[in-house]
Amino acid sequence: MSQEQFRAQPRGGSGHGEEPAELGQVQAQANTQGVDDVLDDIDSVLETNAEDFVRNFVQKGGQ
């Protein structure tokens, strides 16, 4: 599971947890890869008319 999005990068050496730093890095990489895959899948949607979509995503208010 990734930690990197929320935590400053550890400044060298191991983190303060008991988990070996390497294991944490492997998990973070796997997680980032998963996120990257999802973003890759959606990339063409984001690059095609994002501005147009957003500008027109308007409805009446509900409750």
Q: Which residues sit at the interface with other proteins, rule CB under 8 A?
A: 1-3, 5-7, 27, 31-32, 34-39, 41-42, 45-47, 49-51, 53-63
Q: Which is nearer to other proteins, 20 or 34 (CB)?
A: 34
Shortest distance (Å) from residue 15 CB to other proteins: 9
What one-character-per-residue DSSP string does 26-41 give?
HHHHHHHHHHHHHHHH
How far CA 45 is from CA of 10, 24, 29, 40, 50, in Å, comes to 34, 32, 25, 10, 7
Residue whose CB is less far from other proteins, 11 or 58: 58
